[in-house]
A and B are shown apart, each in its own frame.
Chain A
Amino acid sequence: MHDDQKTLEPNESVHMTDSATTGVNTEGGPPKMTARHVDVFYGDKQAINDVSIDVNMDSVTAFIGPSGCGKSTFLRCMNRMNDTIPIARVTGDITLEGEDIYAPKMDVVQLRARVGMVFQKPNPFPKSIYDNIAYGPRIHGLATGKEELDEIVESSLQRAGLWGEVKDRLQDSGTALSGGQQQRLCIARAIAVDPEVILMDEPCSALDPIATAKIEELIHELRGKYAIVIVTHNMQQAARVSQKTAFFHLGTLVEYGETTDIFTNPREEKTRDYITGRYG
């Protein structure tokens, strides 16, 4: 419960702006990632309709909404994971630090290293814990020697709060860990390539409440170092971990704003209905 208190503290800048519902940020420094008028089609079916949103460095952004509302689809557009689906088509602009990530000259491999992803189901490689973490730095050439690599592995595991639990068995298989540990391993694996943004697609939906609490705590600690976007079904979780919340419904962004506002004083009827559990 201590998590609740942490997040629900009054935020530093609680200005509602006119652009709140479109998700465009007009305050503070330049946003880490921006999306403008994004449409996503799967074949003929439109999954995302004209979504514009900003993601800031200093805050955790939560995407909430009923199943099938497009929040995961939108998240996967942000590091072009949708490229792997042949029928998916994305229009509109998504930028990372002002660079269009869908521009032809953008290297997808580098983009995905800069915008890391944590998936719904923990998916460690069937390799040792060490190799799970070291894989990313190895393929991107981030470490020049064994010592540097060891250092990256240790610091990544430490940041993911897993070091103490696994430091004596780094050569054990990553798949032998418990579900919550596996998910933290996956977060450590994402951190190891030194990303700027971490996308989390319902990272706790396969975990028990204790493991969930640990992940949420971890998200708190990572905030500020990385821009974090988290998709969640769990509205309490969104309230606990995020500073900004975006509510998606039927492929459109209904409302985007400070988490406290969304949960205490939503502007849209639909948002109010959803967070009070009247539908969805």
Chain B
Amino acid sequence: MNSLTETKRRPTDWQGAEMQKRIAGRYAAERRFKAMGMAAIALSASFLAFLLVVMVGNGFLGFTQTELPVEIDFPAVTGGASPSQFQGPNAEANLQVMGLREIVDSSIEIQYGPEGTDLFSSGAWTAVSAKILADPDIVEQKSTVNLPVVSDLDVAYKDEGNPEAEAKVSELSGQFSTGFNWNFLSNSDATDPMQVGIWGAFKGSLITMIVTLMLAFPVGVLAALYLEEYAPKNRLTDLIEVSINNLAAVPSIIFGLLGLAVFLNFFGMPRSGALVGGLTLALMTMPVIVISGRNAVKSVPPSIREAALGIGASPLQVVFHHVLPLALPGILTGTIIGMARALGETAPLLMIGMRAFIATPPSGITDPATVLPVQIFLWSDEVDRGFVEKTSAAIIVLLLFLLIMNALAIYLRNRFETRW
């Protein structure tokens, strides 16, 4: 048998044509794979570039507003108000009794005719009040302030609006200027696109994220530690593991329904609040933290556990003095992924009533609130063309929020990283 196979086998011809063909084929396969990989990267890079260019291009306009100059003769219309009235703690109250709105309206009518107020945004007078608070000395003299125009004109000036607005723009051309829209950073939702702001939604997102983190992180980490370090390996823990893995894959809207049924209907928590939103998102984030936490705990070398046990550390001390610090970078990575997903989540929050029109920023976890992605969703649904650029601007804010959150988490992770 042995001799048979030996005689049958020809000496391998490493230089033969057949071998050369094999070699050529192998190189071709490598080249094909490299080309496909590079094409995939180029494609995703171009998608990303496209997204960034479009978003920044559109969104940038959302941070600016079109303005027209209005001359206000402060000494005449206020009857000689002094700058000292608008300093100190009573400044805001004095501004309110002054009837600034009427003052501004009449000044506009003097300059632009009886229909002049239609040119300006309904909240234009608030810009004057902000100016006075910033620099009270202007009430002593005749000053010219740039006030935001009405949304239709804003759109027509920046881009292309309806025919009436376009006609108005060409009529007043030369007088327009562009200013930074501070309102967008400090206001909340409004019906007038010139007056909307991102602050309310931003604050809502921040509070919701804090609630989510406060709940999902400790619970997720404790669950991961217990399952890895303490729990006996049996059928029950296998079942729990499978359940947690499945939970991570459940569509987010289901969590919204769960939140609606449990937190709102059963526990009767306040509707639309950051508390319920945060709890719902925590349910969604927790499995991600548990899974990544378990992997991180599993990757801590057993020799460290033995070393600690060997000098008489209790199992609890082993976990909290050695395993957890070493696993923390991995746990944080999972937490970033989970929190980033929670930050961008819209569907479950719609189910628990966070899609309401909220014009004041929330001041606590039970106040009605909205979050950035829901705000983006709501604005994208608006008919008014002025909302288009606001939507893009809100997206930029959301992406920046995400970027800052991730940067913070990466910084923390690197800080806790242990050099071996």
- Please list the residues of chain A having a beta carbon within 8 angstroms of any beta carbon in chain B: 79, 81, 84, 86, 109-114, 116-119, 121, 123-126, 135-136, 139-140, 173, 175, 186, 189-190, 192-193
Contact = CB atoms under 8 A, between A and B. Distances in A.
Given A126-B326, A135-B321, A121 B303 contact: yes
A140 B312 contact: yes
A81 B312 contact: no
B419 interface: yes
A126 B420 contact: yes
Contact of A84 (B309, B313, B314): B309
A206 to B, nearest CB: 11
Contact of B232 (A86, A117, A118, A189): A86
A173 B419 contact: yes
B313 A139 contact: yes
A123 B304 contact: yes
A110 B314 CA distance: 9
Contacts, number: 70
B309 A113 contact: no
A192 B314 CA distance: 17
Looking at chain B's contact residues, the main secondary structure is helix
A195 to B, nearest CB: 8
Given A86-B232, A125-B304, A126-B326, A119 B310 contact: yes
B308 interface: yes
Interface in B222-269: 232-233
B98 interface: no
A173 B418 CA distance: 10
Contacts of B306: 81, 84, 117, 119, 123
B93 interface: no
A123 B312 CA distance: 15
Closest 6 CB pairs of A and B: A113-B312, A117-B310, A123-B303, A112-B312, A136-B311, A123-B307
Contacts of B385: none
Contacts of B309: 81, 84, 112
Q: Most chain-A Cβ atoms within 10 A of its Cβ — which of B305, B311, B313, B326?
A: B311
Contacts of B301: 123
Contact of B312 (A86, A110, A175): A110
Nearest to A84: B309
B317 interface: yes
Interface string B136-172: 0000000000000000000000000000000000000
Contacts of A81: 306, 309-310
Contacts of A118: 310
A173 B420 CA distance: 8
